[in-house]
Amino acid sequence: MSAEVLPSAAPPYAIKVWADAVNVYAEVPSLNQPCVLAFRLSTGGLSQILDLLGAKHRQEGAGEPYLRPAYVAKTLMREGLTQRDLDKAREALKNLGIIK
């Protein structure tokens, strides 16, 4: 019998969830860094976080990484920039070695 010790029994699409006296937090992986979402410590907040967990499982149960939906700031939109422009800028910065 071969056995492998893993750092966690959680599946790869699992997210960390914790609470304090006011909020329940969920750490969701995103494109550059983890994104921490806060929900009120109430039945409504717990319901929202359970919806997030279910959606994440449905979307990533196959092992695909979670990518936050694209968001273009209103000031950039007024200047005519689109998500495609931001993606091109990100690629240029990657090619120059400024970001990974």
Give the pLDDT score at 1.
47
Tokens of 33: 């860094």
In 3D space, the residue among 61, 64, 17 whose CA is nearest the CA of residue 41 turns out to be 17
pLDDT of res. 29: 72
Residue 98 has pLDDT above 50, yes or no: yes
Rounded to whole angstroms, the Cα distance separating 100 from 79 reads: 27
Tell me the pLDDT band of 6, cut-offs 50, 70 and 90.
low
**pLDDT, tens digit (0-9, with 9 covering 90-100), for 23-81:** 999 887 777 777 888 999 999 988 888 887 777 667 655 555 556 666 667 788 788 88
Span 80-90, average pLDDT? 86
